[in-house]
Chains A and B, each alone.
Chain A
Amino acid sequence: MVDKHDEVKKIEVDYTRLRIPFGPVHPALKEPVLLRVTVRREEVLDVDVVLGHVHRGIEVLAENRNLVQTLYLVERVCGICSHSHTTCYVQALEEIGGIQPPERALYLRTLIFELERIHSHLFLLGVMAHEIGFDTLFMFTWYVREKILDLFEKVTGNRVHHAMNTLGGVRWDLNQHMVDDIRATMKDLQKSVHRIYNFFQDKTVEKRLCDVGVLSKDDAERLCVVGPTARGSGVDMDVRRDHPYAAYTYLKDYFSVAVREKGDVYARTEVRLLELFESISLIQKVLEELPNGPIRVEDNVIRLMRRIPEGEVISLVEAPRGELLYFVKTDGKEGLRRLKIRTPTIPNVLTLKPMLVGCEIADIPVVVASIDPCMACANRLIVVDATTDSKKIVDMDFLRRRRQA
């Protein structure tokens, strides 16, 4: 009688190269993105990033709408840095049309901008804590973040999409009650952020984050990385200081740019923590210096929109995730000929390959979270035909042909 166990065929698994699809729907990812990871046992050999799952065709939609409708469309590129997108777009239009918003409007834009930076960084720090299994810190950070959202609601009437910007200024003004409220919250926040900073000094957190997902300065410069990801790798760049816009022209001496040389996940987290302190002091400075006067130019939006001539402009802002670039080309008939958005996540997501190669599988969520990827921002370039599963990158020729058709 043959032993049953002898009959069982030995299955040889080739562990030398195993391809694991990571996403697009995955519990560790908050937004759909597909990472094709090649592994040898636990070690990551290669990573392939596939984008396009939340591609909504915003750039093409913008070409079919008028300038003011597009303002509310670009706000919905991303729910986390919505104010950065509208500021960048409105700045471009104001430059083409020669509209000079009043000084108070510029200060109010800056105020919302910095509040948004705090909210976005707290959001990310919470997600980082969640990815390393430190859920207490996750809950605490998000509890602190709610205070910022309360301020947003008080000032602009909305928690996420603020709709603060309009052509030639801002839509809502501050009163004394709000100013006092923001001051009190900032004081409170400073203590909470100190507490979060101390949490991140914890030994367990350090062990989990140090020397993981290292991005060297050379790689960072080669891949044109922006924002806190670049500053964590020793690249000293910040649009607020290098090409000041809004009220940063007056405030550039009142903040410093945090730079860390190490380039690992911990360095990037630390840069964000230090930026929180800078943003808090910057908001206090904005409230001190806030000039009196109107919050927008006198003409109404429709009349301003009709005045905008044909022209093209590149506009830059420092979004919470890094440099955000808009190329705006108007047609002189209330519409857009071309809108090109280059969000910080597009260069930053490329760094996943140098960061993840050599890591362990368990580190993938932490490393991915550390660049603060915003997939909603990054997905506007690839056209996907679901029936044939073929992909192609939209180039200028394709768009030109589309317009003629």
Chain B
Amino acid sequence: MGIRLVASSRVKSPWLFHLNTGSCAGCDIEIVAALTPRYDVERLGCVLVGSPRHADVLLVTGPVTRQMLPRFIRVYGQVPEPKVVVAVGTCASSGGPFMGSQMVEGSVDKIVPVDVYVVGCPPRPEAIVKGIVTAVKRKFG
């Protein structure tokens, strides 16, 4: 019973944690825009939480920079299993215009497994909402 309750809450109310690994803030403001009245991802039960230990879904923006790499791995480890990683934006999906820089390690999927890629520079809030929904359905649904 308890396990069933947890599993169904994961689908009905996925908790999000947003991590900026070197983004230009463009994707970040679109994620916040997705939480505000026009797009309102909270109607799907999503909540943005302050700690990775509470989260089910990890939203990663930006190419992974050298200094964020160890922190990113630590944050990824802190998210409890089963977890979903959504790479938001072209930079997180492929490195984007920053590929070739010595300060950038590369896209997110070089470091951790990614479940859903949301491309766009930056993606529209609707696309981010769809990315979250797809990821949650595929992994927890």
Binding site for B on A (CB under 8 A): 24-25, 27, 30-32, 52-58, 60-61, 64, 72-73, 76-80, 82, 123, 138-139, 142-143, 145-146, 149, 159-161, 374-376, 383-386
Choose one: A73, A139, A142; the contact of B97 (CB below 8 Å). Answer: A73
B97 touches A72 (CB 8 A): yes
B103 touches A383 (CB 8 A): yes
Residues of B within 8 Å of A149, CB to CB, are: 33
Q: What is the CA–CA distance of A281 and B141 in the complex, to the nearest angstrom?
A: 51
Interface string of B48-59 (1 = CB under 8 A from A): 011110000000
User: Given the interface contacts A55-B67, A79-B122, A159-B124, does A31 sit within 8 Å of B75 by beta carbon?
Assistant: no
Chain B residue contacts of A56, Cβ below 8 A: 22, 63, 65, 98, 101, 103-104
Q: B26 near A76 (CB under 8 angstroms)?
A: yes
If the complex has contacts A54-B68, A160-B122, are A76 and B103 also in contact, measured as CB distance less than 8 A?
Answer: no
Categorize the interface residue count of chain B.
Answer: 35 or more
Residues of B within 8 A of A143 (CB): 36-38
Contact status B26-A31, CB under 8 Å: no
Given A143-B38, A161-B122, A78–B69 Cβ distance below 8 Å?
no
For B103, the closest partner residue in chain A by CB is: A57
Please judge, given known A-B contacts A79-B27, A139-B37, A142-B33, whether A54 and B101 are in contact too, CB under 8 Å: no
Q: A27-B50, A79-B29, A386-B70 are in contact. Are A376 and B98 (CB under 8 A)?
A: no
A385–B65 CA distance with the chains assembled, in angstroms: 11
Question: Is B82's beta carbon under 8 Å from chain A?
Answer: no
Instruction: Decide yes or no whether B44 CB sits under 8 A from chain A.
Output: no
The reply to whether A82 and B22 form a contact with Cβ atoms under 8 Å apart is no
17 contacts across the A-B interface (CB closer than 8 A): A25-B19, A27-B49, A30-B20, A30-B32, A53-B68, A54-B65, A54-B68, A55-B66, A56-B22, A56-B65, A57-B103, A57-B104, A142-B33, A160-B29, A161-B26, A383-B103, A384-B67
Interface residues of B in 98-134 (CB under 8 A from A): 98, 100-104, 121-122, 124
Question: B50 touching A78 by the CB < 8 A rule?
Answer: no
Name the A residues within 8 Å of B121 (CB-CB): 76, 160-161
In the complex the two chains form, what is the Cα distance from A31 to B24 in whole Å? 9
* Beta-carbon contact of A53 and B22 below 8 Å: yes
Contact present for A55 and B28 (CB under 8 Å): no
A384 vs B22: C-alpha distance when bound (angstroms): 14
Which residues of the partner chain A approach B96 to less than 8 Å between Cβ atoms? 76
User: B13 within 8 Å of A by Cβ?
Assistant: no
Known: A57-B102, A384-B103. 8 other contacts (CB 8 A): A30-B28, A55-B66, A76-B24, A123-B29, A139-B36, A143-B38, A159-B122, A386-B66
Q: Would you call A142 and B36 a contact (CB within 8 A)?
A: yes
Chain A residues with CB below 8 A from B37, complex form: 139, 142-143
CB-defined contacts of B63 to chain A, threshold 8 Å: 56
How distant is A103 from chain B, measured CB to nearest CB, in Å?
30
Provide the residues of chain B in CB contact with A32, threshold 8 Å.
20-21, 68, 71
How distant is the Cα of A72 from the Cα of B50 in the complex, in angstroms?
A: 33
CB atoms of B102 and A60 under 8 A apart: yes
| Complex interface: chain A residues within 8 A of B24 (CB) | 54, 76-79, 82, 376
Which B residues touch A27, using CB under 8 A? 49-51
B26→A53 contact, CB < 8 A: no
CA distance in complex: A58, B23 (Å): 12
CA distance A8 to B135 in the complex (A): 50
Whether, in the assembled complex, B6 has its beta carbon less than 8 Å from a beta carbon of chain A, the answer is: no
Q: Which residue of A is nearest B78, CB measured?
A: A25
Residues of A within 8 A of B71 (CB): 24-25, 32, 53
